[in-house]
Amino acid sequence: MASLSRVTKRWTMLGAVAAVTLVVPALVGCTTDDGERLVVYSGRTENLVGPLLKEFSEESGVAIDVRYGDSADLALLIDEEGDRTPADVFISQSPGAVGYLDAAGRLSTLPDGIVERVPEGDAAADSGWVGLSGRVRTLVYNTDIVDPADLPESVLDLTAPEYAGDVALAPTNGSFQDFVTVLRHELGDDEARAWLDGMAAGDPPTFDNNTAIVEAVSRGEVPMGLVNHYYAFRARAEDPDLPVENHFFPDGDYGSTLLVTAASIVEDTDARDDAEALVEFLLSNEAQEFFSDETFEYPLAGDAQPNEELPSFDDISKTRVDLDELGGGLELTTEMIDESGLNR
Amino acid sequence: MRERAPRTLALVCAVVGALFATPLVYLAWRTLTGDEALGELYTSRATLEPLRNTLGLAAATALSTSVVGTGLAWLVTRTDVPLRRLWTALAALPLVFPSFVGALALTAAVSPGGLLDAPLGWIGLDAVRPEGFWGAWLVLTLFTTPYVLLPVAARLAALPPSLEESARLLGRQPAAVFRTVVLPQVRGAIGAGALLVFLYALSDFGVVVLLRYDTLTRAIYTNRALDRDQSVALSLLLAALAVGVVAFERAVARRHPAAQGARSTRPLQVPLGRWRWPALAAVAGWVVVALGGPLASLGVWAWRGLTGETSSLAGGDAGLGDLVAPALNTVGISLVTAVVAVAALLPLAYLTARYRARAGDLANGLVASGFALPGLVIALAVVFWSLQLPEAWGLYQSFTMLVFAYVVHMGAQSLRAAQVAVASVPRRLDESARMLGAGRTRRFATIELPLMLPGLAAGGGLVLLSTMKELPITLLTAPSGFETLTRRIWADVEAAFLAEAALASLVLVALSGVLTWVLVVRRSERLA
């Protein structure tokens, strides 16, 4: 017995040593070779942009390396990398992250030909980034619990007593904060604060993010929640029987504000032409239709039309706030949300 | 008393300590060059309240996991509870849930309207959505108990049964034997595990962010792009906290040196008698909630995707085939990380457990600070330092850099297990061998290493499991195109492709189960 276990042990040791000596050099040899390849840092996940990058690569012959990650984390990474960044193009899920890099001087100015392809207001005022696609704020509700006839015409009416405690919110989520910034911009700080206080008075259930809210609404824990429209579409693609539905606030209500995703070119890129070609491709009809058909989002450029299950452009809010122009904007918004007590 | 450390050993440890100090130095430099008024920030309510919450949560979790982990470890290693080896492997698995998906799945299961809503009702419990302090405490306890369970089980397996046998022959009940004989001998292992839980609770932001409890990590996370200087200054505070806590723990541990003991020739089993079935219910109940809860939600999500007509899983766009490469990458890189971490920290374990060396305690604290910092901070620090090296070395975003970052973040988990292992090697064996003329290398290879292997394997196993679930370091520092399971799960959760996320999570748990069984459970039993 003793000799057997000693043999086993020796083999295990040998195995471990062999694994390290074989694997480590093999891994070490594999490094990023920037220069010939276009490097994309993408805050949009592979499901939402990967097929387009592959398509561009095949059509143009430009090899692409993609690093997927959280938009804000990637923005910090590019900032940390400074002039040694391998990144050429940065795709962001929200205006906040591109705004951070723009303010830090890490983005280059996009040519007018690119910026002019989207409506005014869907690109940065200084042409640091351009909008790619949009998600609309909406009220998701459980169809087993809520009668659509009882739903309000405006997001501002959600402070009414009959909705108290029934509307889930994500007070620390970027999309909710952006929506509050829009309210502040359009109605002034006092009315925005009054709305937040009104919502807080009903002691609503709070969550960290949109996915968690739609999940809770679909299992009936909460009747409704303020989210982006994308998530109910996704949930029903997973399971068509889920009792979740979006209620779009009509007539351009603030409750149906469009929040854009964005593309930008990094200041220290060594492949500007390819980078510009990629951003142009993402604004082409082909790519915009992908956003409309596959990711249920609003296209922003060209002839592509929104998914037919979505309200038309005329019905959603026309308001565009330069959400990347932070200048204390977001900080004041988060402060206001904290003060309302929603974060407790 | 203790001897002075050999010079080579001290030098190696100094180098290891310096490498583990890189994130701390980075944070200090960033803080000093930033324009945050430190005195004001550290005494403000915005810091003190999250700080208090962090300490309370970490202490409460360390306490609850110590109790549960020790109890489970004793039941599965030392009693005749049915299926004990199976339970050992299963009870270790909750550790492998990445907190962002584990907490989401567990919440979906135990909340009102969730899968376990009805079963909870049968035993008279109301379904409640975990939230705030209690929610974070519960979820962290469920997911981090293996940090106590594994080292304590390894220690128990290596203890000589003679004392317990004598106590039982003298008529003591199992509970009394446990309290008076077993507990004092595993105190070191419990302390080691509890410390890891404490540090883990300091660093984790997946759970506190999702369950909305305001801790330091949540402040670091929400401010990371909004107020960079503040985020960095708070990270520095967190690291300093870790160094302090570990220095304190070392001082206490030194005053109560761990019991030495050789391997037992055969494992001892305490017959539980009429307590056998209640004990089984307790072990199984724990596994059902901690592992079964998240798995139930994940199973339903995956099933939905596989059977639904419209999901991309059913459409054949994505499936198990796509997970083969990420699975192999995950296992490969995690094994390499575990072996490197154990090897890199063994010298330090020797230095601190065997010799009189204040510098060893400092290095110990530095290693712990790597574990207590959020992965995102470690990733940015490693990025910073790699960029100070010549570009021609090609280290940036290479596997070397990735493994280095992993080891800095995860190494502490193997260090404490290694210290317990080193401390439990009886010195007299070494002395006898030396008198018989065996050289240092031979003594190490033939006497000490075999004795330490169960402990080292347990520590390496912890590094392995936590590397498998690591996310921010992988996202920011891995070579581009290097796909791992956790990275895939994150992308799917982020875009709300829950079926895909669930399928990949199930693969991750299954892989971890196999590895835990092969490397930790089977090993610790055979070597016992």
CA distance B188 to A105: 52
More confident residue, A61 or B450: A61
User: What are the beta bridge partners of residue A137?
Assistant: A228
Q: Nearest CA of chain A to the CA of B402: how many Å?
A: 10
Q: Give the pLDDT confidence of B392-422 residue by residue, as tens digits.
A: 888 899 999 999 999 999 999 988 778 878 8
pLDDT greater at residue A131 or residue A5: A131
pLDDT at B80: 85
Which residues are CB-neighbours of B148 under 8 A, at least 6 positions away?
B65, B66, B68, B69, B70, B73, B190, B193, B194, B197
Q: Which of A5-9, A28-32, A117-121 has the lowest mean pLDDT?
A: A28-32
pLDDT for the residue numbered B317: 55
For residue A344, the tally of other CB atoms under 10 A from its CB is 12
Q: Which residue has better confidence, A34 or A112? A: A112
Which pLDDT value is given to residue A25? Answer: 42
Confidence check: pLDDT of A320 > 60: yes
pLDDT score at A224? 96
Cα angle B439, B443, B446; round to 5: 130
**Which 395-424 residues of chain B touch chain A by CB within 8 A?**
395-400, 403
Closest alpha carbon to B292 in B521, B489, B93, B75: B93
Lowest-confidence pick of A47-51, A117-121, B271-275: B271-275
Minimal Cα distance from A76: which residue of B? Answer: B225
Helix intervals (H) in B308-425: 324-354, 358-372, 375-388, 399-410, 412-423
**Residue whose token pair is 């030396």:** B434
Rounded to a whole number, what is the distance in Å from the CA of B498 to chain A's nearest CA? 7
Q: Which of B113, B225, B491 sits opposite A219 (nearest CB)?
A: B113
What value does the mean pLDDT of chain A take? 86
What pLDDT sits at residue B309? 64
Q: Which of A119-123, B91-95, B314-318, B345-349 bottoms out in mean pLDDT, i.e. has the lowest?
A: B314-318
Band (pLDDT 50/70/90 cuts) for residue B444 is: confident
* Mutation for testing the B interface, residue in A80, A102, A133 having most B CBs under 10 Å: A80
Question: Cβ contact (<8 Å) for A45 and B491?
Answer: yes
State how far the Cα of B135 lies from the Cα of B207, in Å rounded to an integer.
9
Q: pLDDT tens digit string along B248-295?
A: 887 777 776 655 555 555 556 777 778 888 999 999 999 988 999 899
Q: How many Å lie between the alpha carbon of B280 and the closest alpha carbon of chain A?
A: 31
Contact B339 A46 (CB under 8 A): no
Binding-face residues of B in 308-347 toward A, CB within 8 A: 308-312, 332-333, 335-336, 339-340, 343
Contact by Cβ (8 Å): B140, B215: no
Q: What is the pLDDT of residue A27?
A: 47
B416 alpha carbon, distance to own chain's centre = 11
Mind listing the pLDDT tens digit for each residue in B223-243?
Answer: 887 788 889 999 999 999 988
Taking alpha carbons only, the member of B341, B294, B298, B283 closest to residue B143 is B294
Tell me which chain B residue has its CA closest to the CA of residue A171. B212
pLDDT for res A157? 94
Considering chain A, what percentage of its residues have pLDDT values greater than 70?
88
Question: Are residues B476 and A172, on separate chains, in Cβ contact within 8 Å?
Answer: no
* CA distance linking residue B243 with residue B224, whole number of Å: 23
DSSP string for B385-396 = HHHHS-GGG--T
d(CA B386, CA B393) in angstroms, rounded, equals 10
pLDDT at site B236:
93
In the predicted structure, residue A32 carries a pLDDT above the cut 70? no
Residue B124's pLDDT band (cuts 50, 70, 90): confident
* Residue-level pLDDT at B523: 59
User: Would the CB atoms of B308 and A207 count as touching at under 8 Å?
Assistant: no
B324's CB contacts (< 8 A; 6+ apart) are: none
Q: What is the pLDDT of residue A182?
A: 87
Inter-chain touch A23–B332, beta carbons under 8 Å: yes
Q: What is the dihedral of CA A75, A80, A85, A91, to 10 degrees?
A: 0
Residue of B121 and B234 predicted with greater confidence: B234
Range from B117-126, B191-200, B346-355 carrying the lowest mean pLDDT: B117-126
A334/B475 Cβ within 8 A: no
- Please list every residue in chain B whose beta carbon sits closer than 8 Å to the beta carbon of residue A215: 104, 108
**What's residue A30's pLDDT?**
43
Q: From B205, which residue of chain A is nearest by alpha-carbon distance? A: A208
Asked if B459 and B490 count as a contact pair (C-beta separation under 8 A), the reply is: no
pLDDT reading at A228 higher than 70: yes
- pLDDT for residue A3: 44
Residues B339, B463: Cα–Cα separation, whole Å: 9
Q: A85 is written with which tokens?
A: 């960044």
With beta carbons less than 8 A apart as the criterion, state whether B258 and B426 touch: no
Instruction: Find, among B491, B341, B387, B210, the residue nearest to A50 by Cα.
Output: B491
Query: Which residues in A lie closer than 8 A to residue B497 (C-beta atoms)?
Result: 47, 234, 238
Instruction: Please give the residue that has the higher pLDDT: either A178 or B62.
Output: B62
**More confidently predicted of B445 and A168:** A168
